[in-house]
């Protein structure tokens, strides 16, 4: 049964997938099982993206379908277990100070989220200190910095420097991404890695903290 | 002109445009006065070099070198983007200083910062700009949202102008709230009842909107005067600006500012037919936008920045269904109208080259950012002039020697048979001045065709 949901979701059949979940819940199917099926669907989608079969619109649309499924499951999961889906691995994501672009960042947040990470999305134009404080507060081992403009190079560097100055650098891995980011920018900012797309972010987070 | 404009072929129209630029007239119809015979010779040589590169009929005397900056000229001159937006004289002075320092073969004007006070007067919400949501020393940035709702396609399709005026514009311009009360003008027909249509113009919110529009219009005019003066001064010194205006790919019109990136992607799955219909509806509108700007300014180059069709943003099938067909129609329509589409492939477009190479030869200019330039040359570059692709990261973080090495490789590998302009790949703000200098000077020296 969960296999069917995984298939509907990974084929991006929105109305069919939502109808399936609705009917299954009415029949009394365990919502945890359904959530597992949906997660399996998302991992198939991730694989298809890595294989070059799926592209950004497919990722975004699948995230949208997943949100719909979770909205149906959430109340039942709470009834059954007194809590939502368990998360693994914390990641802080922010668009750096001075830059207010959010499309790439939001995509990274949503892909990390549906891949089971607990994401702390600090938004855009995030001051260096806010990021440092969040690392202290959450103990997140991974920080993702986003930026679209060349001004982001310096803001990223400042952020990495501040993490260092706060004595947290050996506790966190830093990944960067955005419009004009490449290997040269990675070296300049002192980040550990850069990613070209949202699935790179998922790959790096998995590599660094598992999950 | 021997032949009437409308009877000319696309080839003849383009040639006529260049000939007009080569013997420029002032607004009164007199020959433009150059600062010196040398400046006049430089102007004509620069323009001829650009013309030869674009037309691809023969190699220019050397590889043309152009800079496409965003805020770089203003940083270079020591003013903030905020100052450049609010003090038009400072903006123009900074741009001239930058042009005289670097002396590229052509420029596209000092209009990148735009008129700050105008944006305030209309209460512009689509962008945050220096002092209004971003710091004084940073560039303006777009605030993307779903300004058009998913259920509004039928409204847009019925009458795009009415939709823009009564729905879209009041959402992105706070001062245009009164527009929501205006009737469709197509209802203004005969004597009987006609006055009812004009009642809204008597209402205070509409009058308030028009008062602001008068003020904003005056401000825009003031700014445009400063920009025109800047162009004229630089032309007299030998630097042409052939940019005539801009238009957009229909998919980006909807994906950038109407539905947004996420919205249009959802529409591809949930209402593909409506989306396709809307894209088609926008084709003649986007063509007319380019042609009208060309007629107004007398400059043939029509800028088309491409965004949401980049690698990864669509599958190949989606690109060929939703993005390319209407963009191609716009490109061809502009060419037939005598324009030179200047298309910026922002980001990476390497996977799109096979599809987009199918365009008329010698009629377009393409700005190449992070696409594989060798592959671009082997496909699109066989029919179209390419400009690029010195990376922003290298200009900001590299050394002059790294810049020269990069430019040498470009000239050696993609410029050899003409049809290439050495330039940066993406509009840039911060860069090391010596790196920009290295790009221009090296290109001028090493790029001479033997």
Q: What is the pLDDT of residues B236-267, one digit of tens each?
A: 999 999 999 999 999 999 999 999 999 999 99
Min Cα distance A28 → chain B (Å) is 30
pLDDT computed for residue A1 by the predictor: 55
* Mutation target among A49, A54, A155, A180 for the B interface, most CBs of B within 10 A: A180
CB-defined contacts A:B, below 8 A: 83
Alpha helices in B6-128 (DSSP H): 10-22, 37-55, 72-76, 81-86, 88-102, 116-121
Can you read off the two tokens belonging to residue B379? Answer: 């496909």
Is any Cβ of chain B less than 8 angstroms from the Cβ of A60?
yes
**Domain locations along chain B:** 8-24+32-112+238-446
Residues linked to residue A92 through DSSP beta bridges, in sequence order:
A120, A143
Domain B8-24+32-112+238-446 has CATH 3.20.20.210: yes
Q: How far apart are CA A130 and CA A23, in angstroms?
A: 45
Q: What is the pLDDT of residues B200-221, one digit of tens each?
A: 999 999 999 999 999 999 999 9
**Residue carrying structure tokens 């930058």:** B98
Residues linked to residue A127 through DSSP beta bridges, in sequence order:
none
Task: With a cut of 70, list the residues of chain A below it in pLDDT.
Answer: 1-2, 80-87, 211
Residues linked to residue B304 through DSSP beta bridges, in sequence order:
B343
Q: How far apart are CA B52 and CA B449, in angstroms?
A: 13
Can you read off the two tokens belonging to residue B16? Answer: 């006529």
pLDDT computed for residue A2 by the predictor: 61
- Closest to A165 measured CA to CA, from A194, A131, A142, A195: A131
Can you read off the two tokens belonging to residue A78? Answer: 């709470």
Can you read off the two tokens belonging to residue B433? Answer: 């001045």
**Residue carrying structure tokens 């950004």:** A56
- Closest to A93 measured CA to CA, from A60, A122, A128, A63: A122
Select the residue of B128, B318, B429 nearest A150 (Cβ to Cβ): B429
Chain A residues within an 8 Å CB radius of B270: 14
Can you read off the two tokens belonging to residue A34? Answer: 């359904």
Mean pLDDT along residues B48-69: 97
pLDDT computed for residue A197 by the predictor: 86
pLDDT computed for residue A50 by the predictor: 84
Residues linked to residue B420 through DSSP beta bridges, in sequence order:
B386
Please check whether residue B182 is in contact with residue B133, taking contact to mean a CB–CB distance below 8 angstroms. Answer: no
Q: How far apart are CA B12 and CA B341, in angstroms?
A: 16
Select the residue of A101, A181, A185 nearest B141 (Cβ to Cβ): A101
pLDDT computed for residue B320 by the predictor: 98
Is any Cβ of chain B less than 8 angstroms from the Cβ of A120?
no
pLDDT computed for residue B91 by the predictor: 98
Spell out the CATH class of A90-209. alpha beta
Chain A residues within an 8 Å CB radius of B431: 150
DSSP state of A64: H
Select the residue of A64, A150, A184 nearest B428 (Cβ to Cβ): A150
Q: What is the pLDDT of residues B143-197, one digit of tens each?
A: 999 999 999 999 999 999 999 999 999 999 999 999 999 999 999 999 988 999 9
Chain A residues within an 8 Å CB radius of B129: none
pLDDT computed for residue B10 by the predictor: 94
Can you read off the two tokens belonging to residue B443? Answer: 């290109």
Those residues with Cβ within 8 angstroms of residue B88's Cβ, 6 or more apart along the chain or in another chain: B115, B222, B223, B226, B227
Q: What is the pLDDT of residues A163-180, one digit of tens each?
A: 999 999 999 999 999 888
Chain A residues within an 8 Å CB radius of B390: none
First to last CA, chain A: 24
B20 pLDDT more than 70: yes
Instruction: Classify burial at A86, counting beta carbons within 10 Å of its beta carbon; exposed 0-12, middle 13-18, buried 19 or more.
Output: exposed
Q: How far apart are CA A95 and CA A198, in angstroms?
A: 14
B237 to B94, B96, B109: CA distances (angstroms): 16, 10, 14
**Residue carrying structure tokens 């900001």:** B396
Neighbour tally for B211: CB within 10 Å = 12
Q: What is the pLDDT of residues B375-405, one digit of tens each?
A: 999 999 999 999 999 999 999 999 999 999 9
pLDDT computed for residue B176 by the predictor: 97
* Mutation target among B72, B272, B318, B392 for the A interface, most CBs of A within 10 A: B392
B230 pLDDT more than 60: yes
Chain B residues within an 8 Å CB radius of A100: 128, 133-134, 141, 143
Please check whether residue B172 is in contact with residue B124, taking contact to mean a CB–CB distance below 8 angstroms. Answer: yes
Can you read off the two tokens belonging to residue A86? Answer: 């368990």
pLDDT computed for residue B38 by the predictor: 97
pLDDT computed for residue A113 by the predictor: 84
Select the residue of A55, A99, A100 nearest B313 (Cβ to Cβ): A55
The confidence band for B26, taking pLDDT boundaries of 50, 70 and 90, is confident
Helix (H) or strand (E) run with residue A61 in it: helix A56-81
**How does strand A193-195 pair with strand A142-146?**
unpaired
Neighbour tally for A32: CB within 10 Å = 15
- 3-state secondary structure (DSSP) of residue B36: coil
Can you read off the two tokens belonging to residue B260? Answer: 């947004």
* B133 with A12: Cβ contact below 8 A: no
Q: How far apart are CA B83 and CA B89, in angstroms?
A: 10
* B396 with A125: Cβ contact below 8 A: no
Q: How far apart are CA A6 and CA A11, in angstroms?
A: 8
Spell out the CATH class of A2-81. mainly alpha
**How does strand B127-130 pair with strand B133-134?**
parallel
**Domain locations along chain A:** 2-81, 90-209
* Phi/psi at B425 (5° precision): -90, -30
- 3-state secondary structure (DSSP) of residue B105: coil
Two domains, one topology: A2-81 and A90-209: no
Please check whether residue B17 is in contact with residue B291, taking contact to mean a CB–CB distance below 8 angstroms. Answer: no
Neighbour tally for B42: CB within 10 Å = 19
DSSP state of B62: B
The rounded mean pLDDT for chain B is 96
DSSP state of B387: E
pLDDT computed for residue B292 by the predictor: 97
Nearest chain A alpha carbon to B261:
A103
* Phi/psi at B363 (5° precision): -120, 0
pLDDT computed for residue A63 by the predictor: 87
Q: How far apart are CA A123 and CA A102, in angstroms?
A: 8
Helix (H) or strand (E) run with residue B219 in it: helix B204-236
Helix (H) or strand (E) run with residue B391 in it: none
ipTM summary value: 0.86
**Residue carrying structure tokens 């994401």:** A119
pLDDT computed for residue A148 by the predictor: 87
Q: What is the pLDDT of residues B263-320, one digit of tens each?
A: 999 999 999 999 999 999 999 999 999 999 999 999 999 999 999 999 989 999 999 9
For chain A, the residue count is 211
């Amino acid at each position: 049964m969960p296999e069917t949901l995984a298939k509907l979701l990974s084929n991006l059949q929105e109305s069919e997938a939502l109808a399936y979940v609705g009917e299954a819940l009415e029949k009394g199917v365990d919502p945890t099982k359904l959530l597992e099926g949906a997660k399996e669907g998302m991992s198939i989608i991730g694989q298809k993206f890595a294989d070059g079969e799926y592209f950004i619109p497919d990722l975004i649309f699948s995230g949208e379908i997943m949100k719909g499924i979770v909205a149906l499951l959430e109340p039942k999961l709470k009834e059954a277990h007194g809590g939502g889906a368990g998360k693994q691995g914390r990641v802080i994501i922010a668009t750096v100070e001075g830059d207010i672009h959010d499309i790439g960042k939001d995509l990274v947040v949503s892909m990390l989220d549906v891949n089971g990470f607990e994401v702390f999305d600090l938004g855009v134009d995030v001051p260096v200190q806010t990021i440092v404080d969040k690392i202290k507060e959450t103990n997140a081992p991974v920080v993702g910095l986003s930026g679209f403009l060349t001004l982001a190079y310096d803001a990223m560097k400042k952020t990495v420097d501040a993490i260092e100055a706060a004595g947290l650098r050996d506790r966190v891995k830093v990944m960067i991404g955005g419009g004009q980011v490449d290997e040269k920018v990675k070296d300049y900012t002192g980040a550990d890695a850069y990613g070209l797309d949202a699935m790179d972010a998922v790959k790096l987070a998995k590599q660094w903290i598992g999950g | 002109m021997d032949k009437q404009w409308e009877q000319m072929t696309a080839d003849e129209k383009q040639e006529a445009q260049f000939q007009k630029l080569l013997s420029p007239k002032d607004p009164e119809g007199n020959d433009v006065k150059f600062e010196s015979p040398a400046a006049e010779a430089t102007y004509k040589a620069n323009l001829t070099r650009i013309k030869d590169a674009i037309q691809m009929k023969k190699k220019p005397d050397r590889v043309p070198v152009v800079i496409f900056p965003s805020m770089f000229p203003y940083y270079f001159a020591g003013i903030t983007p905020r100052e450049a937006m609010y003090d038009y004289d400072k903006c123009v002075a900074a741009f001239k200083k930058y042009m005289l320092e670097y002396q590229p073969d052509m420029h596209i004007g000092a209009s990148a910062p735009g008129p700050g006070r105008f944006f305030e007067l209309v209460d512009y919400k689509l962008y945050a700009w220096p002092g209004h949501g971003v710091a004084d020393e940073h560039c303006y940035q777009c605030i993307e949202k779903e300004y058009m709702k998913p259920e509004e396609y039928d409204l847009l399709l019925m009458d795009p102008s009415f939709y823009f005026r009564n729905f879209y514009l009041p959402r992105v311009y706070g001062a245009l709230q009164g527009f929501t009360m205006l009737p469709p003008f197509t209802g203004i027909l005969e004597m009987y009842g006609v006055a009812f249509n004009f009642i809204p113009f008597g209402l205070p919110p509409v009058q308030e909107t028009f008062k602001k529009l008068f003020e904003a219009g005056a401000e825009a005019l003031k700014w445009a005067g400063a920009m025109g003066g800047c162009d004229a001064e630089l032309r007299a010194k030998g630097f042409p600006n052939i940019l005539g205006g801009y238009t957009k790919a229909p998919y980006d019109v909807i994906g950038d500012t109407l539905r947004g990136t996420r919205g249009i992607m959802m529409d591809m799955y949930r209402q593909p037919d409506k989306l396709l219909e809307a894209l088609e509806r926008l084709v003649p509108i986007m063509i007319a936008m380019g042609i009208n700007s060309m007629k107004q300014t007398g400059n043939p180059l029509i800028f088309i920045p491409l965004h949401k069709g980049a690698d990864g943003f669509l599958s190949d099938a989606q690109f060929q269904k939703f993005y390319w067909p209407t963009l191609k129609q716009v490109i061809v329509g502009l060419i037939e109208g005598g324009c030179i589409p200047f298309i910026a492939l922002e980001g990476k477009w390497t996977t799109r080259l096979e599809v987009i190479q199918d365009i008329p030869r010698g009629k377009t200019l393409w700005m190449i950012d992070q696409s594989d330039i060798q592959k671009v040359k082997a496909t699109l570059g066989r029919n179209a002039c390419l400009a690029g692709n010195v990376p922003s990261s290298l200009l900001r973080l590299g050394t002059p020697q790294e810049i020269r090495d990069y430019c040498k490789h470009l000239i050696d590998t993609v410029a050899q048979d003409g049809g290439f302009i050495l330039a940066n790949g993406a509009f840039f703000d911060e860069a090391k001045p010596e790196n920009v200098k290295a790009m221009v000077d090296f290109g001028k020296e090493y790029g001479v065709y033997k």
